[in-house]
Structure 1
């Protein structure tokens, strides 16, 4: 993701413009609650990401996959377990039904969040994270917020690398070769990553202390153009 943000046709575009455009359109998309506008934003910014920024469709779909999975699960939960009104579908399972209110709630939630995905992708995939933090710093966002964001961003990639290493080690030992074995390997992975996260956090703190950490992390400042 960081490589993509540095290598696209919009990486040198004014980061302040991209940040403000994303923030404003996110607020408008969430506030309007309009299906047509949500679909329009999704299509427009998908075209910008793929056609203008020249980001590969594979990378874009990979960016959408995980949040899309959570969105589908959440909206199904809203449709089947929330809302009142006239019943429009009966599942026949423990009295679970779909009402017109729950259907409307789940459908509009799906498209509203769907419209936000390419907006976040537009900012995240075309703007290096260092420039985003620099913008936040110059806009006088509290230091604690930018520092937490910086540490979280760094830690995410460390954990992803740890998970990848653990999964490869499990597969070399015949892991994930059956359903039950996959469940056992997944449980082991989750428990081990929790322990490794504690170990990594302690290592990170020692690393910061050894480099003279005094409670404030430096933020990237782009060189001034002559």
Structure 2
């Protein structure tokens, strides 16, 4: 099972599935904004810890799945942190030689890189919280109530549907190639991958026509219908989220020596 199927499955079956989706969206987006605009790395670090705790212990998402999804952004974040430490700033904190090359460790770059890394970590953790606890169908309903332009919303919905259709086709073709030893060597792997990409492009066009014709046969007039009535969240919970975010924002004005 790939990450796309796994995330969709977890989002529909987790312990926070009964929580109002609008409340989860407000919590995730407000925490994301607080993380992005924070002036100290302590705030996004706390957001990362809290989001991880909620996802793993409250939503009961498998720990290995969450950490695996978090690992790739962390790797890129570490690379960014290292590059900024050596390339940004003017105040030299430490100097050392590496095979005759003088490398300066910059204090300004270290502080900026550390803040950037934890901001990225906080933002990713908020995104994973929303993706792992809220089905995309509910997110689309919230977006529609938020007066998002209809055309943008329908394109996003069709893209979401086509992702799974194309993944299923790709897995079918890949398994067929593997049974014919299409990935036995590096040369045959590249050849099979090229054939897979070309065939998948043609399949995508065919599947797009099939989906469009299916919609037309069911009375599609350019407006995708949403069924169900989503209740509004309890105002008390929204107030609690606001207090929580204000407490996090207040940490930006506490000097840590």
TM-score of the pair, normalised by structure 1: 0.79
Task: Report the Cα distance in structure 2 between the residues aligned to 1:80 and 1:187, rounded to whole angstroms.
Answer: 40
2:227 alignment partner, one of 193, 213, 220? 220
Q: Which moved more, 1:102-111 or 1:205-214?
A: 102-111
Q: Are the equivalent residues in 2 in contact too, given 1:131–1:220 (CA < 8 A)?
A: no
Q: Are the equivalent residues in 2 in contact too, given 1:75–1:107 (CA < 8 A)?
A: no
State the match for 1:54 in structure 2: 60
2:158 counterpart of 1:158:
no
State the match for 1:25 in structure 2: 31
- 1:140–1:203 Cα change, 3 Å: same
Q: Which moved more, 1:51-60 or 1:182-191?
A: 182-191
Per the TM alignment, residue 117 of structure 1 is displaced from its structure 2 partner at its CA by 1.7
2:22 counterpart of 1:16:
yes
- 1:18–1:172 Cα change, 3 Å: same
Deviations 1:14-60 (A, max 9, x none): 11111111111111111115322222211211111000111112332
Per the TM alignment, residue 68 of structure 1 is displaced from its structure 2 partner at its CA by 5.3
Q: Give the greater-gyration-radius structure (CA).
A: 2
- 1:91–1:111 Cα change, 3 Å: farther
Cα RMSD after superposing both structures: 3.2
Task: Report the Cα distance in structure 2 between the residues aligned to 1:202 and 1:74, rounded to whole angstroms.
Answer: 43
Q: Are the equivalent residues in 2 in contact too, given 1:80–1:102 (CA < 8 A)?
A: yes
Q: Are the equivalent residues in 2 in contact too, given 1:130–1:220 (CA < 8 A)?
A: no
Q: Are the equivalent residues in 1 in contact too, given 2:21–2:139 (CA < 8 A)?
A: yes
Q: Which moved more, 1:146-155 or 1:74-83?
A: 74-83
Per the TM alignment, residue 128 of structure 1 is displaced from its structure 2 partner at its CA by 1.9
- For structure 2, list consecutive stretches of 5 or more residues without a partner in the other structure: 1-6, 232-257
- 1:167–1:203 Cα change, 3 Å: same
- 1:89–1:206 Cα change, 3 Å: farther
State the match for 2:143 in structure 1: 136
Task: Report the Cα distance in structure 1 between the residues aligned to 2:96 and 2:175, rounded to whole angstroms.
Answer: 44
Per the TM alignment, residue 67 of structure 1 is displaced from its structure 2 partner at its CA by 5.1
Task: Report the Cα distance in structure 1 between the residues aligned to 2:192 and 2:95, rounded to whole angstroms.
Answer: 41
| Aligned 1:74-223 pairs, distance under 5 A | 75=80, 79=84, 83=88, 85=90, 100=106, 107-222=114-229
- For structure 1, list consecutive stretches of 5 or more residues without a partner in the other structure: none
Task: Report the Cα distance in structure 2 between the residues aligned to 1:106 and 1:53, rounded to whole angstroms.
Answer: 31
Deviations 1:131-159 (A, max 9, x none): 22222222222222321221121111112
Task: Report the Cα distance in structure 2 between the residues aligned to 1:164 and 1:73, rounded to whole angstroms.
Answer: 32
Per the TM alignment, residue 199 of structure 1 is displaced from its structure 2 partner at its CA by 2.3
